[in-house]
Amino acid sequence: MNCLRVLRISQQSSKNCYIPSQQQYRAFKRLIENESKKIGRKPKQKKGDVVEANFEPSSLEHFQVRFREDVKVPLRKLFKPFAFACVVTGSSFAGAAIWQYEGMRSKAISRALGQFNFFNTEKAGEFRQQIHQWFSGLLGTQKVVLGIVALNVGVFALWRLPFMQMFMVKWFSANPAANAVCIPMVLSTFSHYSLWHLAVNMYVLWTFSHSMERLFGKEQFLAMYMSAGVWSSFSSHLLKVLTSKYNPSLGASGAIMAVLGSTCFQYPDARLAIVFLPFFTFSAGTALKVLIGIESLGVVMRWAFFDHAAHLSGLLFGCYYAGDGYKRLWGNRIKMLEKWHEFREKPGKV
């Protein structure tokens, strides 16, 4: 009896089963074979792939690389990096203007609600209170500079990891012959391979943070810094294409040169000194002229220890911005902020 019941169930289930046709079976088989080939297929190789990097200390801002094949970059390939630099500049100043607007709006709201204390801002522990008191006493630009320093230190730590180095070469060093060209123009501004290079750049940036507060304020300073960094990278690209030397570059020197250039242009009579020679002082105007002369000579003579094209571009950008650029880039933000204000005042916006 049980055997007959099992037989009937098996017959009913066989009638309900779907049996594909021979044509459908062949199509399914071809699909499986194609997917199997894709899994075993190697990724497509490109000329701009870096297969080897030499980090010998022959230069602080360059290092030697070997590409998969010989590369030659025509000038027309620089149009995309040029457009990217324009977009980064516009986005930086637009974002900085919105940041300034939101900060002023937040302060206005805080003043209106000043009599109410909703949150307890007192830090637990004496050490935390001292850190909070010290950080609260910093200028706005100094706080931004501390963030830049922390980011640079973090990127430097990634360079120390052997399994990360080829990734860092691709994304955190600027090279017009590489497959990734645009994004590294920004990321390389926060990238240092040499500890000495990192320490000197961050010290100089911190030294000029106080003057940047007086000149620009934290929002405008950050926009200028980002813009100078990306245009310094583009100038480095241009010289490399013209000379057919495609060694990657990295470092914040171009952006820091813009900080130095804008300060020296605005305060030419200020007295400066070298950290190792504090007794030897000179005017900021003289330092600016000497630096422009040295960097120009380095570009003409093709000195390789520094990226002189990036340095010269940074200095000139800083002078232009302090002289007239801030009127065009920062002074015309009012119309954009009016539209942003209308957007923020719409019902439902907080």
Tokens 């870096």 sit on residue: 50
- Catalytic residue, from 191, 236, 253, 313: name it: 253
Task: Please give the Cα distance from 131 to 30 (Å, whole number).
Answer: 66
Note whether 155 and 201 are within 8 A (CB).
no
Identify which of 287, 262, 261 has the alpha carbon closest to the alpha carbon of residue 273: 287
Distances (CA, A) of 31 to 21, 27, 28, 40, 41: 16, 6, 5, 15, 15
Q: Is 340 buried (19+), middle (13-18) or exposed (0-12) by CB count in 10 A?
A: middle
Tokens 């490399």 sit on residue: 240
- Catalytic residue, from 197, 232, 311, 313: name it: 311
Annotation marks residue 262 as catalytic: no
DSSP summary character for residue 279? E
Backbone angles phi, psi at 260, to 5 degrees: -65, -45
Coil, strand, or helix at residue 40? helix
Structure tokens at 136: 């609260």
Task: Please give the Cα distance from 52 to 47 (Å, whole number).
Answer: 13
Distances (CA, A) of 116 to 106, 107, 111, 120, 245: 15, 14, 10, 11, 63
Note whether 54 and 65 are within 8 A (CB).
yes
Annotation marks residue 192 as catalytic: no
Catalytic residues: 253, 311
